[in-house]
Structure 1
């Protein structure tokens, strides 16, 4: 008898989405291979593939889903979806179909410089922001879109472009920014340390699937080559591409903004989203879950049930359609612990971890630089995905860490579970034998056998310090939600090498960590109120 036409259409879309995500994840789908399945999907899903003129006439490859059974002159809210970094224009087909079935016009387009779209990769620069407005122009002129009900959403690169577009174009009334960034510098250069594994992955994917602009090529050469003479130029380049730079414009335009990210995002860590959220003066929502970059929402791209996409549609339903679905009455901060079950709601970010436990760092510790002690933050995209699905974060045997290369402090055993929520802060005093250096701080949950599970970490780099002269260091570790079982300890470990980062330790450098009586060293760990 066979499947009905709608079932065939949905099956085809889901299969196509599955192939897309698998291909993108392993870098196997060349640009020429993408065209054939896209054509097949267009026939099965009745989706219209189009050329959209972007800024300066640059052709952007896109697709349009429209509600079925639309009457002449009928208008619908519209959602514009810029694609993720290095992913073809068919990325959102499964979600676009769902949105169209619920009454939206959906226009997705391949960001400039990638795949068959024209132009060069500008990394959410002015041409990309202008492209978003040109796509909105085209959507209003060529579809049944209601010009007063325009939303934008995207994953990763598409999230950043959506936020930037909302700051520059008042027509954007609602945003769903999933696994994106608010501060590009804080994302890949936090603690003045290059996140080399993340930046290298993005650069390589850009060359494989698109055409990096000459400016981008030079920026990445200087960034990965540690060209400190160009540091301020690189920072200015990143600030121009950071939604946080345009906070005043966003607050003036007042689009409804939903931010969603993963605790272990190794490309865009959650701290910068949380800070940005706290400064927004718009209708807003922040969701943080276990996982790594884009892993929390990945199943939704396959057309499978997914909390991130479900809440994104609820957000649009309320703010574009006026649906009374309670999302505006829920607590605006929604967190899911890496180690326990359901969601926790909070009124704002500062309410997440109001209590603290403090670990004093009283003992003076000395270590030699340039050697990886075995404590590390894992592998980009992989380690925190394993934590999400298998509850297996990076681990280290704390008693076996070589104390020549790692400084270690531990708390006492906790009589009750410690629910860590928010941003752990380190304050210490450092003396270096060299003017430059890098340290990486790790917070571990240590069980009875001494095996530590990574709770959080962060890098810190210094330059131009006087050798032998002590200086203070204040470092925020990446925000998280993690439950430490009763009977366990917390351990702070500091070493100088981590595969995720470029280190700046000269040969033979030694670091000393002390705790002056007038300025004691400590780790402050935020806890959920019981």
Structure 2
């Protein structure tokens, strides 16, 4: 990054900070902080003024992928005016920070500790009250740093990942839109290290599967789930926030990580897409997620008795301003209704049922690589629209039954709430060794117009053609209402523009329901 860019970012940072600051509440400076190896990190440093002698709790905020330290400026000013030392810095390899992008590798993670060292030496920060927080890339970095640095007592990780393989290669399927977005943004705003350069080269050739598969050996070392025991051993307080429709880091891998935590913890799942739920809060606007984050740090760094201890560890938001509280994730999943998949019937538009009980002995076949109007939407855009009440919609009567299997439930006799992770068990017989399947769960009105609730991909990459395979297939967590009169609809096809597709044309997939493992959909309904 040129000195001209560094100077521009510094000037803009100080201008914005001055505009939003409360006079006398804190100082703000742009600093060049040496990373663990001396590489200079561009940072905004905010220090309380006129709020006592200190020491003050410290919050370190690594910036998101492709974003500079300005990302958190609004929230940082509010924290500083409330008695926190805040260091918001651009992550290694991006914008005004030196070094190369190593995809949350050792260099990037060690930089957090180096920033803490600098803050303790140059500000009145309290060495016994240190937190780390970030969005997206900054969230994952914060968790990884907390596992390695015992000085970090509390973390607020928003729209981050816990298991990088589960996020990028969900059920052996790559989100080509998500990977393309990350690679493109990285190329525009930073300097790629070897791993990202290799991924980018393969993406440029259209080989999204190879790009991700080549990185998988590194994924475990970049995943907080790998060393969750370190957080548990120290009792680190961890708040996790995620969006139900996160197109980069879907919520189920975050939920699995949350379930492994043994210290103080809270999980917030809300509507929206990647980072859309909390980004307004980072800018300083009123925001439920960042309000919870600030209260989390007040409790675990300032030791304030502010009621956080009495709050539910699991909170789900079906819509803005409404939260459903649960003591743990098992309680979320407790009210599960099992719906059996019955044989699709009908000459022109074969459709099966979703009803109580189980059904076996039937078969239904679709062709592979046939487009249908069932789709998960566009990364970032569709989830953002869903967050403001405009979910992905389609017409179930128009779903091409040549390329999709469809099951429709009975009309709901009253308004029901779906909250949790639906799951599907279905037996398939592929005619090819490689096939990608995409399951969509909708709620449909009386006119056949359906709104997407959740979805998940599943790819078979080494199947034996003609041999039955029973899939235990979790769909991503969701929270919504099923109005009276509406029906649940399950659609499974073999193409989705969001994902890479292992399927080839000319093949078939036969759905069946053997007696030993009847095909069922489990839905957390209340």
The verdict on a shared fold, with TM-score over 0.5 as the criterion, is yes
Partner of residue 295, structure 1: 276
Shift of 1:353: 2.8
Decide whether the 8 Å contact of 1:54 with 1:131 is kept in 2. Answer: yes
The equivalent position to 1:127 in structure 2, one of 94, 107, 120, is 107
Decide whether the 8 Å contact of 1:368 with 1:404 is kept in 2. Answer: yes
Q: List alignment gaps of at least 5 residues for structure 1.
A: 1-29
Partner of residue 428, structure 1: 426
Partner of residue 383, structure 2: 384
Tell me, what secondary structure is at the counterpart of 1:217?
A: helix
Q: Give the Cα–Cα distance (whole angstroms) in 2 for the partners of residues 105 and 33 of structure 1.
A: 24
Decide whether the 8 Å contact of 1:396 with 1:453 is kept in 2. Answer: yes
Partner of residue 356, structure 2: none
Q: Give the Cα–Cα distance (whole angstroms) in 2 for the partners of residues 100 and 242 of structure 1.
A: 30
Alignment of structure 1 residues 37-52 onto 2, 5 Å: 37-41=12-16, 45=21, 46-52=27-33
Do structure 1's residue 321 and structure 2's residue 302 form an aligned pair? yes
Q: Give the Cα–Cα distance (whole angstroms) in 1 for the partners of residues 215 and 109 of structure 2.
A: 19
Q: Give the Cα–Cα distance (whole angstroms) in 2 for the partners of residues 406 and 474 of structure 1.
A: 19
Question: Deviation per CA, 1:480-519, whole angstroms, max 9, x where unpaired?
Answer: 1111111111110001111110000123121111111222
* Cα 1:227/1:373, change in 2 over 3 Å: closer
Do structure 1's residue 225 and structure 2's residue 203 form an aligned pair? no
Shift of 1:119: 0.5
Q: Give the Cα–Cα distance (whole angstroms) in 2 for the partners of residues 281 and 433 of structure 1.
A: 45
Tell me, what secondary structure is at the counterpart of 1:352?
A: helix
Per mean C-alpha deviation after superposition, the further-off stretch among 183-192 and 36-45 is 36-45
For the aligned residue pairs, the C-alpha RMSD in angstroms reads 1.8
Per mean C-alpha deviation after superposition, the further-off stretch among 358-367 and 259-268 is 358-367
The equivalent position to 1:268 in structure 2, one of 249, 259, 262, is 249
Do structure 1's residue 206 and structure 2's residue 204 form an aligned pair? no
Partner of residue 463, structure 2: 465
Tell me, what secondary structure is at the counterpart of 2:69?
A: coil
Per mean C-alpha deviation after superposition, the further-off stretch among 165-174 and 55-64 is 55-64
Q: Give the Cα–Cα distance (whole angstroms) in 2 for the partners of residues 42 and 392 of structure 1.
A: 35
Partner of residue 371, structure 2: 372
Partner of residue 39, structure 2: 58
Shift of 1:426: 0.7
Tell me, what secondary structure is at the counterpart of 2:183?
A: helix
Do structure 1's residue 444 and structure 2's residue 425 form an aligned pair? no
Question: Deviation per CA, 1:179-237, whole angstroms, max 9, x where unpaired?
Answer: 11111111121010001111110110000000111222214545761566983x52221
Shift of 1:373: 0.5
Partner of residue 240, structure 1: 221
Tell me, what secondary structure is at the counterpart of 1:370?
A: coil
Q: Give the Cα–Cα distance (whole angstroms) in 1 for the partners of residues 18 and 489 of structure 2.
A: 57
Q: Give the Cα–Cα distance (whole angstroms) in 2 for the partners of residues 483 and 365 of structure 1.
A: 30
* Cα 1:419/1:221, change in 2 over 3 Å: farther
Partner of residue 130, structure 2: 150
Shift of 1:521: 0.6
Partner of residue 493, structure 1: 491
Decide whether the 8 Å contact of 2:174 with 2:212 is kept in 1. Answer: no
Q: Give the Cα–Cα distance (whole angstroms) in 1 for the partners of residues 321 and 228 of structure 2.
A: 34
Shift of 1:385: 1.0
Partner of residue 315, structure 2: 334
Shift of 1:35: 4.5
Tell me, what secondary structure is at the counterpart of 2:506?
A: coil
Q: Give the Cα–Cα distance (whole angstroms) in 1 for the partners of residues 476 and 187 of structure 2.
A: 29
Partner of residue 158, structure 2: 178
Decide whether the 8 Å contact of 1:497 with 1:503 is kept in 2. Answer: yes
Partner of residue 408, structure 2: 410
Decide whether the 8 Å contact of 2:370 with 2:505 is kept in 1. Answer: no
Partner of residue 234, structure 2: 253
Question: Deviation per CA, 1:311-334, whole angstroms, max 9, x where unpaired?
Answer: 111000010111111011111111
Tell me, what secondary structure is at the counterpart of 2:377?
A: coil
Shift of 1:63: 1.1
Tell me, what secondary structure is at the counterpart of 1:404?
A: coil
Question: Deviation per CA, 1:115-163, whole angstroms, max 9, x where unpaired?
Answer: 0100011111111111111111111111100101100101111110000
* Cα 1:34/1:435, change in 2 over 3 Å: same
Q: Give the Cα–Cα distance (whole angstroms) in 2 for the partners of residues 345 and 42 of structure 1.
A: 36
Shift of 1:31: 7.4
Q: List alignment gaps of at least 5 residues for structure 2.
A: 22-26, 344-362
Alignment of structure 1 residues 27-106 onto 2, 5 Å: 34-41=9-16, 45=21, 46-69=27-50, 74-106=54-86
Decide whether the 8 Å contact of 1:60 with 1:109 is kept in 2. Answer: yes
Partner of residue 359, structure 1: 339
